[in-house]
A and B are shown apart, each in its own frame.
Chain A
């Protein structure tokens, strides 16, 4: 009796596996969550909480895409003054925010936003640094402004991360011009950039000295990376990026590498047309993982906190489309499992581990919530 059950079960398992393979080969099915936590509200009424970081006193800075920078202390929000005017259109606006790794000494805060600065109508992604004095941004320095300005609403990037050597990485999406920008290193857009903390270009950047090249470029062929984090074990910079309906990717950022957009992709256009028949090509780096259909990933953090024993050592990222937080289980650089967290919470714009070891999420239309394990 038991044996029969086992046999029929294994047949089901085998058949369902081969059936799933028609959708996407070697996929890892996302597991439903086992809810062993509660959610605590940290801040409410934030339309799109794009970026978040913590000051040394434990209070938070949160960007709201339309152009407001909030200081959050004991659940109340105060608007930081003198925030640069942002180009709020489509996916553009006030974007990411992080502190310098040596913030306690130098006080630098790094911010990305969509800016109309420079020639032409429209906007493009800009990186600045500034100091926060008496609730106001001061000593604002321009570090990078992508060109050209365009009224296109898509793909501004633009997460910011520092690596262990003090280099700053940030992303700019393809700005809706996928046949023009991502494969051309003489143009901005569809790139990951690497700079020194003062905005100067590191001499060993891959395209330094190449005629006409944008020397700040570190990788190219990226579509729209809106998640970036430093792997705490290897020190490598990891990103994820949105694919078109399908083919969202996780990539490990390596110097001078082409990540393929739009020459190769697992995704298809929104009007159903093919962008590329190919998913692999010599000279193009494959993602370490991809999603089809798209989950629309946003925000990314590695869990290093012992508050979540089952999540520790793995990766968290938000799904805007399916409205959950996804735990991506890792074995080294390999993805070995996926699990849903906070199912149906809303559009998860951002996720980060706070200095207190807790995981915080930015949820569109809601605000900031904190995950408290039972």
Chain B
């Protein structure tokens, strides 16, 4: 009887430990792009904008948090909804959306970026973390997108 109880207890402990050590947000802590030391000059303007405006929620690896912040890495929304994606960065995004079949219903405010900055950050996002967008976003394309 005692053995059973202890066994059960140990099981609960292991489960607890597992949850504590691997919370869902752990992903945000892993730097997949480890070659970037903190003092290095950031090369692409889009990367700098990403680090300034996007990284807090979408993470260094573009994975989001699978709850409130959708992923940008391997995101079907990004590949199939090009115009909406640019509009989301330009004007903000709120309401229900589905990304890789997961529902997100948070809100992202407009960041106040210029059209050129929107283009730069879109190009960075669309070519990072395994994303392979070939058609470059231009300032003109951003400018043409209305609310």
Binding site for B on A (CB under 8 A): 1, 4-5, 7-9, 11-12, 15-16, 19-20, 22-23, 47-48, 65-66, 87-90, 92, 152-154, 176, 245, 268-273, 275, 293, 321, 323, 346-347, 364-365
In the assembled complex, the Cα of A154 lies from the Cα of B36 at a distance in Å of: 21
**Contact call B109/A48, Cβ cutoff below 8 A:** yes
**Contact call A270/B109, Cβ cutoff below 8 A:** no
Q: Which of B6, B20, B36, B56 contacts A23 (CB 8 A)?
A: B20
**Contact call A365/B107, Cβ cutoff below 8 A:** yes
**Contact call A90/B94, Cβ cutoff below 8 A:** no
**Contact call A153/B111, Cβ cutoff below 8 A:** yes
In the assembled complex, the Cα of A11 lies from the Cα of B13 at a distance in Å of: 9
In the assembled complex, the Cα of A201 lies from the Cα of B20 at a distance in Å of: 48
**Contact call B17/A12, Cβ cutoff below 8 A:** no
Q: Which of B5, B28, B113 contacts A245 (CB 8 A)?
A: B28
In the bound complex, residues from chain A placing their C-beta under 8 Å from that of B34 are 272
Query: In angstroms, how far is the closest chain B Cβ from the Cβ of A150?
Result: 10
Category for how many chain B residues contact A:
35 or more
Query: In angstroms, how far is the closest chain B Cβ from the Cβ of A364?
Result: 6
Check if B110 is an interface residue, CB within 8 A of chain A.
yes
Binding site for A on B (CB under 8 A): 1-2, 5-6, 8-10, 12-13, 16-17, 20-21, 23, 25, 28-31, 33-34, 36-38, 51-53, 55-56, 59-60, 68, 92, 94, 106-107, 109-113
**Contact call A15/B13, Cβ cutoff below 8 A:** yes
In the bound complex, residues from chain A placing their C-beta under 8 Å from that of B31 are 271-273
Q: Which of A66, A89, A268 contacts B29 (CB 8 A)?
A: A268
Q: Which of A1, A66, A87 contacts B110 (CB 8 A)?
A: A66
**Contact call B20/A271, Cβ cutoff below 8 A:** no
Query: In angstroms, how far is the closest chain B Cβ from the Cβ of A21?
Result: 10
In the assembled complex, the Cα of A34 lies from the Cα of B16 at a distance in Å of: 22
Query: In angstroms, how far is the closest chain B Cβ from the Cβ of A90?
Result: 5
**Contact call A47/B107, Cβ cutoff below 8 A:** yes
CB within 8 Å for A4 and B1 given contacts A89-B111, A271-B36: yes
Nearest 3 pairs of A and B residues by beta carbon: A272-B31, A89-B112, A365-B107
In the assembled complex, the Cα of A5 lies from the Cα of B6 at a distance in Å of: 9
In the bound complex, residues from chain A placing their C-beta under 8 Å from that of B36 are 271, 273
In the bound complex, residues from chain B placing their C-beta under 8 Å from that of A87 are 112
Please give me the residue from chain A that is nearest to B5 by CB atom.
A8
In the assembled complex, 16 residue pairs joining A and B whose CB atoms fall closer than 8 Å, in A order, are A4-B5, A9-B9, A11-B9, A11-B13, A16-B12, A20-B16, A47-B107, A47-B109, A90-B53, A92-B112, A269-B38, A270-B59, A271-B55, A273-B36, A275-B38, A365-B107
Query: In angstroms, how far is the closest chain B Cβ from the Cβ of A85?
Result: 13
In the assembled complex, the Cα of A47 lies from the Cα of B110 at a distance in Å of: 10
**Contact call B106/A272, Cβ cutoff below 8 A:** no
Q: Which of B6, B12, B107, B109 contacts A66 (CB 8 A)?
A: B109
